[in-house]
Structure 1
């Protein structure tokens, strides 16, 4: 029988986390799903942990280390479900996540992309993500770019979409090592609204060895150069891209890549940044490092590491 959801977990060296992730999927109150786990050449004991789970809904793919994009694309290529649900190998779903998503799909049959509120989890501390829109209803249908001014409403562990979406957007870009999520969300946002469940159903578990926290080469990041024509017509897309370019410009400065810094900075309309961001964009590297060190003292996620 064809499952309603195909849940895809990509795993690379997550032996300390992946059991909790798998359990959070298997413990769902809505159980019409298959679980595809792609072990992307882990060099730790992740695969041994995965094989400890015996459940007829689980399919395990073990491949050489080809990157997160290849791993997710592989999982999606064999998915049998009507909807694909992504979750990273160190994150956790609330037990009612798929039930809430299923209800949203039932109540919004013409929509194709679904998500929910998330929180960052640091050991025993839970920090809900701030969103930029007013939460006037339990379920909202939102423009991705307009609604993602503070934090993107799609994430690697909260996004669910109809398999037909990939016919329009294509798969994850395998040339992008870190930030491939953002690239796909842009393509989704150009074509589809997002049904957003205003309920905290996903915990992003902070892991200092995760891909986003260990990739320091700007060449492995998105270039944001595919949508020059679209951003001329879509002000919300332009603002979203400029905020991401700002992040990568700061990143480039911290890692002494002057060419990349100038590339991202020169493509930003500074009116789309806050006054604080405009100031930070021009600060020397040593000042940015001081500010980062101060911010990191509280143990919370920082989006760059000081050098």
Structure 2
């Protein structure tokens, strides 16, 4: 490829001093050398900004702003970006060295009407733990087919796995700054629907860090659930504006049914709104998911009570949950056998 387009790697950063250096190194080690890296420190309280500045160079631009949220940081980075392709990269995730080069070779020049996806895998401490297990999304698909597959099957493609021609990103619009939790549900649905489809790029690997308790995806506050519900509303509306059909309505209903299962017993008002959405869209046959113990409990307790028991186990641990059960049984003996 004679003309080597510039790729902008956009990294929003907030309190990620433990992981940012490794992420930046993975970006700088790209075999596609015509890159710029833009780090936006979103008012971090730790040494994130100092770590970012230690990498500042002709290729790495560091911006500091007051805390405004991830979506605002993504928008600030995009506004500064000069690249013909956009690579979104969370500050704790990693790119394989040839990730970007493989995807550019697949898409061709930046006039491509398609976006590229790639292989991704989770890791907790070391990327060597990652297992790249194929998913149904790991194929070429139209935007509508891709979203239906993802939402019906609860599959994902994390942000770093994509490579987006700039003109498609511009057509899709900016990140919604009202959103925090699952802000990408709205944003990447717009990206996909602004394209002609997804081209899956075998071998273009990214590493998704899991187990980070401070990550945005782990937030379960009232504000976070409100953001999630709004993101689901926006994302499903994006799809229905493109195609309002029985198959798209079912996929959207399934999204809201899954939300009900995930948030129960919290935010009952949002559950009610989600239930109204499910009914309006024609219903969903989705059943609550869980491990063998959850399924066993659901069989004789019902999914709602099983979910409450599951939450107690997660909150207090199996030992304390077991102790609580023993104390409950002892109390019953005292009451019924004084």
* TM class by smaller structure: 0.7 to 0.9
**2: CA distance between counterparts of 1:160 and 1:123?**
25
The aligned counterpart of 2:218 is 213
CA contact (8 A) 2:250 2:282 kept: no
Moved more, 44-53 or 140-149: 140-149
Q: What are the ranges of 5 or more consecutive residues in structure 1 without an aligned counterpart?
A: 297-307
**1:82-130, Cα deviation, whole Å (9 max, x unpaired):** 0111000000011111111111121896333111121110224324465
Q: Within 1, Cα distance between the matches of 2:287 and 2:258?
A: 15
The whole-number CA distance in structure 2 between the counterparts of 1:25 and 1:184 is 23
Q: Which has the larger radius of gyration?
A: 2
Give the match for residue 283 of structure 1.
303
Does structure 1 retain, via aligned residues, the 8 Å contact 2:9–2:37? Answer: yes
- Distance, in Å, in 1 between the alignment partners of 2:206 and 2:309 is 32
The corresponding residue for 1:299 is none
Sort the Cα spacing of 1:37 and 1:108 in 2 relative to 1 into closer, same or farther, 3 A. Answer: closer
Residue 178 of structure 2 corresponds to residue 171 of structure 1? no
Q: Give yes or no for the alignment of 1:225 onto 2:233.
A: yes
Q: Does 1:196 align with 2:200?
A: yes
Q: 1:29 to 1:235 in 2, by over 3 A?
A: farther
Change (3 A) 1:61 1:213: same
Structure 1 stretch 154-163 or stretch 6-15: which is displaced more? 154-163
The runs of 5 or more residues in structure 2 that have no matched partner are 316-338
The answer (yes or no) to whether the contact 1:116–1:153 under 8 Å persists in 2 is no
TM-score (norm 1): 0.83
Q: CA deviation at 1:276?
A: 4.6
**TM-score, structure 2 length as denominator?**
0.76
Q: CA deviation at 1:294?
A: 7.1
Q: Does 1:159 align with 2:162?
A: yes
1:234 shift after superposition:
4.1
Higher strand proportion (structure 1 or 2): 1
Are 1:102 and 2:138 counterparts?
no
Alignment match, 1:71: 73
State whether residues 120 and 157 of structure 2, in contact with CA within 8 Å, keep that contact through their aligned partners in structure 1: no
CA distance in structure 2 between the partners assigned to 1:294 and 1:236 by the alignment = 37
Inter-partner Cα distance in structure 2 for 1:56 and 1:44: 25
1:34 shift after superposition: 0.5
Cα RMSD (Å) of the superposition? 3.1
1:6 corresponds in structure 2 to 8
Q: 1:246 aligned to 257, 267, 275, which one?
A: 257
| 1:198 CA drift (Å) | 3.0
Match 1:42 to one of 38, 44, 53: 44
Report the secondary structure of 1:225's partner residue: helix
Pairing 1:69-148 to 2, within 5 Å after superposition: 69-106=71-108, 110-124=112-126, 125-128=129-132, 131-132=135-136, 140-143=140-143, 144-148=146-150
State the SS of the aligned residue for 2:89.
Answer: strand
- CA distance in structure 2 between the partners assigned to 1:294 and 1:200 by the alignment: 38
In structure 2, do the counterparts of structure 1 residues 242 and 120 end up closer, same or farther at CA, with 3 Å as the change threshold? farther
1:275, distance to aligned residue in structure 2 (A): 4.0
* Aligned residues of 2:19 and 2:91 also touching (Cα < 8 A): yes
Q: What is the aligned residue count? A: 290
Alignment CA distance shift 1:26-1:167 (3 Å): closer
Q: Residues 57-96 of structure 1: CA distance to partner in whole angstroms, max 9, x if unpaired?
A: 0110100110000000000011101011100000001111
